Chain A
């Protein structure tokens, strides 16, 4: 099962997209004004690596495709296939 989330293209979300693109297990492709971020079963984004502050970090996820957020705190965002 694939884990997939969407992130809107905004300057503030770029850190999330950059971290995802730097992870060889994660695929990032544009879909409309969003990035589709997917991985075979689990996506983990380290918050500190993204440089995102509070408000952006907690509002970065725009959509969940057959997936569920299992962690979204000051350390990481973890999305797993449902």
Chain B
């Protein structure tokens, strides 16, 4: 076999989860209490930096907590920097929105951290409920169960577990939904009605593709 033939072909999808997701904080003490002391997420990295090039850049600390799976949540604390915007308006440390912004929109941006089972979900509920940041909501959405709170910076944090694995049918459906969404959005009239109408066309057009993709699995299942 030639060297070329031995070359491993890398998959198209090569990423491995979240390296880190970073957020600003104006209260590093409360942030450390919430993530390190209450949730018990280990501090795994931090950078102390005197400015960052431009003259007006404040000195800062960039610090990281382990959220499992080698993934990390990170914060920036800028020395001497005061929060921006109207602090009574809905929002968080990163941004304040206009006063009429609905709550569902504010909470749409959040971080969801995965746990494996109910015991672990309830353990984090217990830790939060004993803190200044108790669980605000525990919801079972049939296929997932989640708890929610806001961290000291106003960022919504969800801790979630799956009640069952996502099925191949749901993966197939997600592809069709997103294709239909892009189609109706680009057509200029994005509504749920238009999306479901477009999706019905895609369901009919791609049913055969689904059926043929299932055949090899069914055949292999017949092998004792």
Residues of A within 8 A of B (CB): 4-6, 8-12, 31-34, 53, 55-56, 61-65, 68-69
**Other-chain residue from B170, B193, B199, B202 in contact with A10 (beta carbon distance below 8 A):** B170
When A and B form their complex, what is the total count of cross-chain residue pairs whose Cβ atoms lie within 8 Å?
Answer: 64
A/B interface sample: 26 pairs, CB < 8 A: A5-B200, A6-B203, A8-B173, A11-B164, A12-B142, A31-B203, A31-B204, A32-B207, A32-B210, A32-B211, A33-B172, A34-B207, A53-B142, A55-B142, A56-B142, A62-B196, A62-B199, A62-B203, A63-B197, A63-B199, A63-B203, A64-B200, A65-B197, A65-B200, A69-B193, A69-B196
Q: Contacts of B202 on A, CB cut-off 8 Å?
A: 63
Whether, in the assembled complex, B143 has its beta carbon less than 8 Å from a beta carbon of chain A, the answer is yes
* Residues A64 and B142 in contact in the complex (CB < 8 Å), given A8-B169, A33-B210, A34-B203: no
9 nearest A-B residue pairs (beta carbon): A63-B200, A32-B207, A32-B210, A33-B169, A64-B196, A65-B200, A63-B199, A55-B141, A31-B207
Whether, in the assembled complex, B167 has its beta carbon less than 8 Å from a beta carbon of chain A, the answer is yes
Interface range on chain B: under 10, 10 to 19, 20 to 34, or 35 or more? 20 to 34
* Residue ID in chain A nearest B208 by CB atoms: A32
Q: Which of B145-175 contact A (CB under 8 A)?
A: 164, 167-170, 172-173
* Residues A12 and B207 in contact in the complex (CB < 8 Å), given A62-B199, A64-B197: no
Q: Contacts of A64 on B, CB cut-off 8 Å?
A: 193, 196-197, 199-200
Whether, in the assembled complex, B45 has its beta carbon less than 8 Å from a beta carbon of chain A, the answer is no
The answer for the CA separation of A5 and B196 in the assembled complex, in Å, is 9
Nearest CB of A to B148, in Å: 15
Residues of B within 8 A of A (CB): 141-143, 164, 167-170, 172-173, 176, 193, 196-197, 199-204, 206-211
Query: What's the dominant secondary structure at chain B's contact region?
Result: helix
* Residue ID in chain A nearest B139 by CB atoms: A55
The answer for the CA separation of A55 and B210 in the assembled complex, in Å, is 26
Q: Contacts of A33 on B, CB cut-off 8 Å?
A: 168-169, 172-173, 210
The answer for the CA separation of A27 and B111 in the assembled complex, in Å, is 43
Q: A32-B206, A62-B203 are in contact. List 12 more A-B contacts (CB 8 A).
A: A6-B199, A6-B200, A8-B169, A9-B169, A12-B142, A32-B209, A34-B207, A55-B141, A62-B196, A64-B196, A65-B201, A69-B193
B167 A10 Cβ-Cβ under 8 A: yes
Q: Contacts of B208 on A, CB cut-off 8 Å?
A: 32
Q: Contacts of A6 on B, CB cut-off 8 Å?
A: 199-200, 203
The answer for the CA separation of A10 and B165 in the assembled complex, in Å, is 11
The answer for the CA separation of A33 and B199 in the assembled complex, in Å, is 13
